[in-house]
């Protein structure tokens, strides 16, 4: 039986664009059908923006790569129409254990706070995530949405011509030219588009190698994240064990810098290592093995004229913290609504600069966290190892040292503090739903607040009056009226000690501005600011 990642999902077929006399111009072209490219394309198509996705390949990601998907990603996936599918397929986990040698030093619980539709994390193979996105593309196509997915189409040249971008595409048949009003480059960490445009990608390489193996075993390990510093089966290095669906387990083994990668990857070398870890009698099959060197880096800006970079093409982090795909999905949702407004002439194209600013801020946060984790996990000097071991030695004995132990700070959503799109805020309302932050879920009647938010500008009124609709220069702001009476979770997250609250929400569910009561002039000004019209 073929594995899902060996099955062509969008094989090349000859397209009429290839025979056109003059290059066909599309509104938006996305290069790369990885998780980020597919997410941004679905988001655009759901807003009625025509989009063509090109990928040189025709399958989902080879091997599982990303496995931990965060709550924010699931909330975005809900808006894209695949949230429930992901949760149904995924494994929910909360407990993490940290070992030094063969002793447990510390254990953490992600302690899912009550009152959210989605769990803190699920584990799911990246190929399933992509498979669900492709299925959603097919579903949208059946409903007549303007979205196309072309496999076997490799972008080999790009030219930003000022008011459009020209592309040369290589297919199994021939090469052809097409044009895009806007190009979204989601072509991965090695981004050929970034190279063709001669753009920098600077940062830090961590001089270390990790063996990443997905093994299929039917073992009774619990559904927990186990992390070892200096385990007996990998002395002086680190190791990670984490469960995925279908009896697949992710194993990461740190190997050090001075190794022969090709040798280490051979099954005859991998299997004995894994046996040391899992026990001589453990029965397992290798699904996928790879050796990685990690880097933390980003582009200086994510917008270059009519080309917008998203996902790994724009930024790369080490995997400790699960911030790669999770942050790429946040790029996608930040970009889609802005581009849709610009294409509809409802916002100036300078709004797209805020995409770069906000997501550079997000990337910096992720790079900072993942660099710190990597420095802890793979100390680069004798003294950093000494302090690392001091923290680990104390963590077993004294609670204070546990927060110092860093085996990866798991992805949390980015709040756009200080963004140029942010309107007025007030201290009278709770900090967690401050301006710039993504709206926090709460139960609402039989359902959930987040299921009622997103996709357009909205005015969330909590025990406050406001008109049901407001037209702000062609942008319709729809009111969502809720009450905190009898809903303590909503009160705590949206009102605090205030009696009422009015939240202006962007189409990506982030708070654009908030007040304790409705003021039409202020709301209009905040919409103008959040759409870059006030410049």
Partner 1 sequence: MSLNTKPNLPDPDGFYADLLSAHEGLSTEDSHALNARLVLILANHVGNRAALKEALELARATV
Q: Which does 389 bind (CB under 5 to 8 A by kind): partner 1, ligand FAD, none?
A: partner 1
Contact 55, 150 (CB under 8 A): yes
**Stretch 438-477 residues interacting with ligand FAD (CB under 6 A):** none
Is residue 324 involved in binding ligand FAD (CB under 6 A)?
yes
Binding segment toward partner 1, per CB under 8 A, in 87-95, 129-137, 385-393, 524-532:
385-393
Token reading at 328? 């790429």
Binding segment toward partner 1, per CB under 8 A, in 79-87, 144-152, 225-233, 391-399:
391-399
Nearer to partner 1 (CB atom), residue 216 or residue 401: 401
Q: Is 88 helix (H, G, I), strand (E, B) or coil?
A: helix
Q: How far apart are the first and last CA of the chain?
A: 58
Write down the least CB distance from residue 156 to ligand FAD, Å. Answer: 7
Write down the least CB distance from residue 312 to partner 1, Å. Answer: 34
Burial of 311 (0-12, 13-18, 19+ CB in 10 A): buried
Residue among 398, 446, 485, 486 that touches partner 1 (CB under 8 A): 398
Residues 402-431: x where in contact with partner 1 by CB under 8 A, - otherwise, as a string: --x---------------------------
Is residue 55 involved in binding ligand FAD (CB under 6 A)?
yes
Token reading at 468? 């049901």
Q: Which does 202 bind (CB under 5 to 8 A by kind): partner 1, ligand FAD, none?
A: none
Binding segment toward ligand FAD, per CB under 6 A, in 49-57, 105-113, 432-440, 519-527:
49-57
Is residue 368 involved in binding partner 1 (CB under 8 A)?
no
Is residue 37 involved in binding ligand FAD (CB under 6 A)?
yes
How far, in Å, CA of 183 to CA of 172, rounded?
23
Which residues lie below 8 Å from residue 445, measured CB to CB, with a gap of 6+? none
Is residue 65 involved in binding ligand FAD (CB under 6 A)?
yes
Write down the least CB distance from residue 312 to ligand FAD, Å. Answer: 4
Is residue 292 involved in binding ligand FAD (CB under 6 A)?
yes
How far, in Å, CA of 499 to CA of 272, rounded?
64
Q: Which does 213 bind (CB under 5 to 8 A by kind): ligand FAD, partner 1, none?
A: none
Contact 353, 303 (CB under 8 A): yes
Beta strand pairing status for 202-217 and 51-54? unpaired
Q: Which does 96 bind (CB under 5 to 8 A by kind): partner 1, ligand FAD, none?
A: none
Count of beta carbons in the 10 Å neighbourhood of residue 11: 12
Contact 206, 168 (CB under 8 A): no
Write down the least CB distance from residue 394 to partner 1, Å. Answer: 6
Count of beta carbons in the 10 Å neighbourhood of residue 263: 10
Nearer to partner 1 (CB atom), residue 53 or residue 391: 391
How far, in Å, CA of 22 to CA of 338, rounded?
29
Token reading at 46? 């759901």
- What residue has token string 């699960």? 322
Q: Which does 394 bind (CB under 5 to 8 A by kind): ligand FAD, partner 1, none?
A: partner 1
Write down the least CB distance from residue 212 to ligand FAD, Å. Answer: 4
Residues 97-126: x where in contact with ligand FAD by CB under 6 A, - otherwise, as a string: -----------------------------x
Q: Which does 97 bind (CB under 5 to 8 A by kind): partner 1, ligand FAD, none?
A: none
CA pseudo-torsion sign 263, 268, 273, 274: positive
Binding segment toward partner 1, per CB under 8 A, in 50-58, 227-235, 398-406, 513-521:
398-406
DSSP string of 43-79, one letter each residue: HHHHTT--EEEE-S--SSPSS----EEEHHHHHHHHH
Token reading at 501? 């609250």
Phi, psi of 239 (to 5 degrees): -155, 155
Write down the least CB distance from residue 231 to ligand FAD, Å. Answer: 19
Write down the least CB distance from residue 390 to partner 1, Å. Answer: 4
| DSSP element (H, E) containing 101 | none
How far, in Å, CA of 107 to CA of 111, rounded?
12
Count of beta carbons in the 10 Å neighbourhood of residue 36: 31
**Stretch 332-391 residues interacting with ligand FAD (CB under 6 A):** none
Nearer to partner 1 (CB atom), residue 282 or residue 393: 393
Residue among 393, 431, 481, 499 that touches partner 1 (CB under 8 A): 393
Residue among 390, 431, 481, 499 that touches partner 1 (CB under 8 A): 390
Is residue 386 involved in binding partner 1 (CB under 8 A)?
yes
Residues 168-197: x where in contact with ligand FAD by CB under 6 A, - otherwise, as a string: ------------------xxx---x-----
Burial of 119 (0-12, 13-18, 19+ CB in 10 A): middle
Which residues lie below 8 Å from residue 348, measured CB to CB, with a gap of 6+? 342, 532, 533, 535
- Number of alpha carbons in the 13 Å side-chain half-sphere of residue 294: 26
* Residues listed for the chain: 535
Write down the least CB distance from residue 41 to ligand FAD, Å. Answer: 11
- What residue has token string 């990885």? 34
Q: Which does 391 bind (CB under 5 to 8 A by kind): partner 1, ligand FAD, none?
A: partner 1
SS (H, E, C) 116-146: CCCCCEEECCHHHHHHHHHHHHHHHHHCCCC
Binding segment toward partner 1, per CB under 8 A, in 94-102, 324-332, 381-389, 411-419:
381-389
Binding site for partner 1 (CB under 8 A): 383, 386-387, 389-391, 393-394, 398, 400-401, 404
Binding site for ligand FAD (CB under 6 A): 31-37, 54-57, 61, 65-68, 126, 154-155, 186-188, 192, 212, 292, 311-313, 319, 322-326, 328
């Amino acid at each position: 039986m073929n594995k899902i990642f060996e099955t062509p999902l969008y094989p090349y077929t000859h397209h009429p664009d290839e025979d056109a006399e003059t290059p066909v111009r599309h509104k938006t072209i996305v290069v790369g059908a990885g998780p980020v490219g597919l997410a941004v394309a679905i988001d655009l198509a759901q807003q009625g923006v025509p989009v063509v996705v090109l990928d040189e390949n025709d399958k989902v990601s080879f091997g599982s790569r990303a496995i931990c998907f965060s709550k924010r990603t699931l909330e975005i996936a809900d808006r894209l129409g695949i949230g429930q599918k992901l949760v149904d397929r995924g494994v929910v986990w909360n407990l993490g254990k940290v070992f030094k040698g063969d002793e447990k030093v510390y254990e953490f619980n992600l302690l899912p706070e009550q009152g959210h539709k989605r769990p803190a994390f699920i584990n799911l193979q990246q190929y399933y995530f992509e498979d669900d996105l492709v299925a959603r593309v097919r579903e949208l196509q059946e409903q007549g949405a303007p979205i196309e997915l072309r496999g076997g189409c490799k972008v080999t040249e790009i030219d930003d011509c000022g008011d459009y971008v020209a592309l040369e595409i290589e297919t199994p048949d021939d090469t052809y030219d097409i044009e895009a009003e806007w190009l979204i480059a989601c072509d991965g960490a090695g981004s050929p588009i970034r190279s063709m445009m001669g753009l920098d990608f600077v940062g830090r390489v961590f001089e270390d190698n990790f063996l990443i193996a997905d093994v299929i075993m039917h073992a009774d390990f619990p559904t927990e994240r186990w992390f070892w510093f200096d385990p007996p089966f990998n002395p002086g290095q680190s190791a990670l064990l984490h469960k995925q669906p279908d009896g697949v387990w992710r194993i990461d083994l740190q190997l050090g810098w001075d190794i022969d990668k090709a040798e280490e990857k051979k099954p005859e070398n991998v299997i004995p290592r894994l046996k040391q870890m899992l026990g001589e009698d453990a029965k397992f099959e290798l699904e996928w093995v790879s050796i990685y060197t990690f880097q933390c880096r980003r582009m200086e800006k994510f917008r270059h004229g009519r080309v917008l970079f998203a996902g790994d093409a724009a930024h790369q982090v080490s995997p400790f913290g699960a911030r790669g795909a999770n942050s790429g999905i946040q790029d996608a949702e930040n970009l889609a609504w802005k581009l849709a407004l610009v294409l509809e002439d409802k916002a100036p194209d300078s709004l797209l600069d805020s995409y770069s600013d906000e997501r550079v801020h997000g990337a910096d946060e992720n790079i900072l966290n993942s660099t710190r984790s990597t420095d802890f996990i793979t100390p680069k000097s004798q003294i950093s190892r000494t302090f690392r071991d001091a923290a680990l030695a104390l963590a077993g004995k004294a609670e204070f040292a546990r927060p110092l132990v860093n085996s990866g700070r798991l992805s949390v959503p980015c709040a756009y503090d200080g963004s140029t799109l942010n309107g007025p805020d007030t201290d009278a309302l709770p900090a967690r739903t401050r301006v710039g932050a993504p709206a926090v879920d709460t139960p609402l009647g039989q359902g959930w607040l987040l299921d009622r938010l997103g996709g357009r500008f909205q005015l969330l009124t909590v025990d406050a009056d406001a008109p049901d609709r407001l037209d702000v220069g062609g942008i319709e702001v729809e009111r969502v009226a809720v009450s905190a009476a009898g809903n303590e979770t909503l009160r705590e997250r949206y009102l605090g000690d205030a009696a009422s609250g009015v939240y202006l929400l962007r189409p990506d569910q982030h708070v654009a501005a908030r007040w304790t009561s409705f003021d039409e002039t202020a709301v209009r000004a905040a919409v103008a600011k959040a759409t870059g019209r006030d410049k």
